[in-house]
């Protein structure tokens, strides 16, 4: 029993000694076709049953049926890459065959010719290194339906009944034919041979025996990740870099377009502002010219001076700039409570006479309505006149106006 305990501890240390080195490197490492994850990824557990036979020099003795017996296994393992993996497995059950010597494993009452029938129970605790041929030579594909996985390993082969030597070091080799069922479950058809010294069956004269088994079982994937992630190939990396460069170029073009659009809007605003400045300067000039214009002489020979507002050519409605002056005029009229005349003017040098007469009258009416309706001037204090005049050497726009006096 002490030997069995020692063997079990030895095997557990052997199976996972390589795995412990991987724990220190949990970061993702790019390969040609896949990414290697952390220690918690890509584990599996497996179990299966089948039959085995005991290949020895007495294999041709007796009935072929007497050389076959049941076999079973359970195991746990991990794939470190899609190509390389490791597993720990406990296999065994029963071995049958023939032996020439009288050993603890034979039945003295059962003989076939000069040979004793042999029958004993055992277990084989072993660690195996797995190699996936398809992933190595045909690229990794998690959707592949069939994988060919050879393995080689070592362990301890022990009988469950004391004999001449009830524990031997053993080497294992074999092939797993793995068929994908779904993303977590695989069907395994496994062929394995174990090579060990013949002393295990009580016949020290022989050199080796080879128990061989054929089993069918299931492997279930456990852990955080059950498949390897797609890797970064040189082609993929070049494509990613190209897309990044294209995106950067697109963003730069968008930025340049935004800058150009902003500059265009700034230019348009500056141009509009300059036009408004010029317009205000022109209106100021016109206002100053009107102030400096000689006073008109009435029929009685007296001169009068009035307040003027100006219209654009062909217009009878004041713009905001000129209509603002009417507030001052309205307050002045209301404060004096005197009567005032609103005279609308038109330029005789532009347009026909009848049109100009209508323009002059409408300009006067426009000022009248604004003073009465908007500024509350008593309409009894206001009267309306109109006149079509010659600019007399002034710019024509200087007489497109209405005057309150």
Domain residue ranges in the chain: 2-233, 289-404
Output the CA torsion 276→280→282→285 (10° steps). -170
Give the whole-number percent of the chain exceeding pLDDT 90. 32
Quick one: pLDDT at residue 227? 82
Instruction: Indicate if the pLDDT at residue 202 is higher than 90.
Output: no
Where residue 321 falls among pLDDT bands split at 50, 70, 90? Answer: confident
Cβ atoms of 182 and 220 closer than 8 Å: no
- List the single range of 181-195, 298-312, 348-362, 380-394 with lowest mean pLDDT: 298-312
pLDDT tens digits, residue range 261-302?
999 999 999 998 888 888 888 877 766 665 555 444 333 333
Quick one: pLDDT at residue 125? 95
Instruction: Indicate if the pLDDT at residue 87 is higher than 50.
Output: yes
pLDDT tens digits, residue range 131-172?
999 988 988 888 899 999 999 999 999 888 766 567 889 999
Mean pLDDT of the chain: 81
Fold of 289-404: 60s Ribosomal Protein L30; Chain: A; (3.30.1330)
**187: burial class by Cβ within 10 Å (0-12, 13-18, 19+)?**
middle
Quick one: pLDDT at residue 25? 40
Residue 314, by phi and psi: left (phi above 0), alpha (psi -120 to 50) or beta? left
Cβ atoms of 66 and 82 closer than 8 Å: no
Instruction: Indicate if the pLDDT at residue 328 is higher than 50.
Output: yes
Quick one: pLDDT at residue 189? 97
Instruction: Indicate if the pLDDT at residue 9 is higher than 60.
Output: no
Quick one: pLDDT at residue 109? 67
Which residues of 41-83 form beta strands (DSSP E)? 43-55, 68-79
Quick one: pLDDT at residue 241? 75
Most confident by average pLDDT, 132-141, 212-221, 382-391 = 212-221
Tokens found for residue 135: 């992933």
Where residue 236 falls among pLDDT bands split at 50, 70, 90? Answer: low
Residue 158 pairs in a beta bridge with 123, 167
Cβ atoms of 290 and 399 closer than 8 Å: no
Instruction: Indicate if the pLDDT at residue 27 is higher than 50.
Output: no
Fold of 2-233: Porin (2.40.160)
340-376 b/e with 16+ CB inside 10 Å = b?
bebbbbbbbebeeeeebbbbbbbbbbbbbebbeeeee
Quick one: pLDDT at residue 214? 94
Quick one: pLDDT at residue 33? 67
Quick one: pLDDT at residue 103? 74
The DSSP result for 287-303, as a single string, is HHHHHHSPPEE-TTS-E
């Amino acid at each position: 029993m002490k030997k069995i305990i020692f063997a079990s501890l030895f095997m557990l240390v052997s199976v996972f000694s390589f795995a412990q080195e991987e724990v220190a490197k949990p970061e993702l490492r790019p390969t040609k076709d896949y990414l290697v994850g952390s220690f918690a990824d890509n584990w599996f557990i497996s179990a299966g049953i089948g039959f085995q036979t005991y290949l020895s020099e007495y294999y041709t003795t007796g009935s072929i049926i007497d050389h076959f017996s049941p076999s079973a296994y359970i195991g746990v393992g991990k794939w470190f890459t899609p190509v390389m993996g490791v597993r720990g497995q406990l296999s065994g059950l029963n071995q049958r065959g023939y032996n020439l010597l009288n050993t603890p494993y034979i039945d003295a009452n059962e003989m076939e010719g000069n040979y004793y029938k042999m029958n004993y129970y055992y277990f084989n605790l072993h660690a195996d290194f797995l190699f996936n041929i398809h992933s190595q030579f045909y690229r990794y594909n998690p959707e592949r339906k069939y994988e060919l996985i050879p393995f080689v390993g070592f362990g301890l082969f022990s009988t469950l009944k004391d004999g001449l030597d009830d524990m031997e070091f053993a080497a294992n080799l074999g092939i797993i034919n793995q068929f994908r069922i779904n993303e977590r479950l695989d069907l395994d058809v496994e062929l394995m041979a174990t090579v060990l010294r013949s002393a295990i069956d009580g016949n020290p004269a022989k050199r080796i025996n080879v128990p061989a088994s054929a089993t069918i079982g299931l492997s279930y994937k456990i852990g955080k990740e059950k498949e390897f992630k797609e890797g970064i190939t040189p082609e993929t990396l070049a494509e990613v870099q190209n897309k990044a460069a294209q995106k950067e170029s697109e963003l730069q073009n968008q930025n340049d377009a935004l800058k150009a659009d902003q500059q265009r809007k700034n230019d348009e605003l500056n141009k509009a502002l300059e036009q408004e400045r010029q317009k205000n300067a022109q209106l100021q000039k016109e206002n100053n010219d009107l102030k400096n214009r000689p006073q008109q002489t009435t029929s009685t020979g007296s001169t009068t001076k009035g307040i003027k507002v100006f219209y654009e050519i062909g217009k009878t409605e004041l713009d905001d700039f000129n209509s603002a002056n009417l507030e001052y005029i309205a307050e002045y009229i209301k404060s004096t409570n005197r009567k005032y005349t609103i005279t609308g003017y038109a330029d005789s040098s532009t347009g026909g006479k009848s049109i100009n007469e209508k323009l002059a009258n409408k300009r006067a009416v426009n000022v009248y309505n604004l003073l009465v309706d908007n500024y509350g001037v008593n309409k009894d204090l206001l009267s309306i006149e109109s006149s079509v005049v010659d600019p007399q050497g002034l710019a024509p726009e200087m007489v497109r106006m209405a005057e309150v006096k």
